[in-house]
């Protein structure tokens, strides 16, 4: 503050306004930390990695806060930084998931479970009974990275297709096809656990 003793009143006001905007930005961003973390946690395999990733994300966000446009989706802006960092750090194997074959139907898991235990296993309580938390986390983490990114953003992060497209810098149609394929693979993985 005191570095320019010759500042005009206008300049002083500008500096004060900027400082206030900056504090507001930081607090708004910190308020989203839990939501950012839960997405980060499913992008990487350990809690430590997730913590590192979130810290790097916030360090970068605080440095480049002025490139955020107030009034736009801050959570999506933070996640965009996070996914870029995650990619840069080379945590991902470069697979080409869009070329993997896709035979199962959307109803694959439902049909497998119904075959093994009758239609009533599709009822809410039975579904929860048969699927464990571990199996869901395992099935998510074994998805190809490009699929997992989309599934995690939409299903865990609760982002719209349009937001996910913006975060990952891919077309909405690609979000939809990766989501579709990712969820089918997820269900195939769960079927192995739940039905064998």
Min CB(105)–other proteins separation in Å: 6
Min CB(109)–other proteins separation in Å: 7
Which two three-digit tokens encode residue 11? 């300049």
- Kindly list the distances between the CA atom of residue 181 and the CA atoms of 30, 61, 75, in Å, as whole numbers in the listed order: 33, 32, 25
Min CB(180)–other proteins separation in Å: 6
Minimum CB distance to other proteins smaller for 11 or for 106? 106
Minimum CB distance to other proteins smaller for 85 or for 179? 179
Minimum CB distance to other proteins smaller for 26 or for 145? 26
Min CB(188)–other proteins separation in Å: 13
Minimum CB distance to other proteins smaller for 80 or for 150? 150
Minimum CB distance to other proteins smaller for 17 or for 55? 55
What are the residues binding other proteins (CB under 8 A)?
Answer: 19, 22-23, 26-27, 30, 33-34, 37-38, 41-42, 47, 51, 54-55, 58-59, 62-63, 105-107, 109-111, 113, 119, 122, 124, 127-128, 131, 133, 136-137, 140, 154-156, 158, 160-161, 176, 179-180, 183, 186-187
Q: How far apart are CA 181 and CA 149, in angstroms?
A: 12
């Amino acid at each position: 503050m005191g570095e320019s003793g010759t500042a005009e009143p206008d300049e002083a006001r500008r500096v004060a306004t900027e400082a206030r905007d900056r504090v507001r930005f930081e607090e708004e961003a910190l308020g989203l930390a839990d939501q950012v973390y839960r997405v980060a946690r499913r992008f990487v395999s350990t809690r430590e990695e997730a913590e590192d990733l979130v810290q790097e994300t916030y360090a970068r966000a605080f440095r480049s806060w002025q490139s955020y446009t107030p009034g736009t989706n801050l959570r999506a802006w933070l996640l965009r930084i996070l996914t870029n960092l995650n990619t840069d750090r080379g945590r991902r194997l470069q697979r080409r998931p869009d070329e993997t074959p896709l035979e199962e139907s959307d109803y694959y898991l439902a049909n497998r479970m119904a075959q093994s235990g009758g239609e009533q296993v599709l009822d809410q309580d039975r579904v929860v009974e048969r699927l464990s938390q571990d199996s869901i986390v395992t099935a998510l983490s074994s998805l190809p990275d490009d699929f997992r990114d989309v599934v995690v953003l939409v299903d865990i992060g609760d982002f719209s297709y349009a937001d996910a497209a913006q975060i990952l810098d891919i077309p909405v149609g690609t979000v939809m096809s990766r989501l579709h394929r990712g969820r089918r693979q997820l269900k195939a993985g769960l079927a192995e656990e739940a039905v064998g």
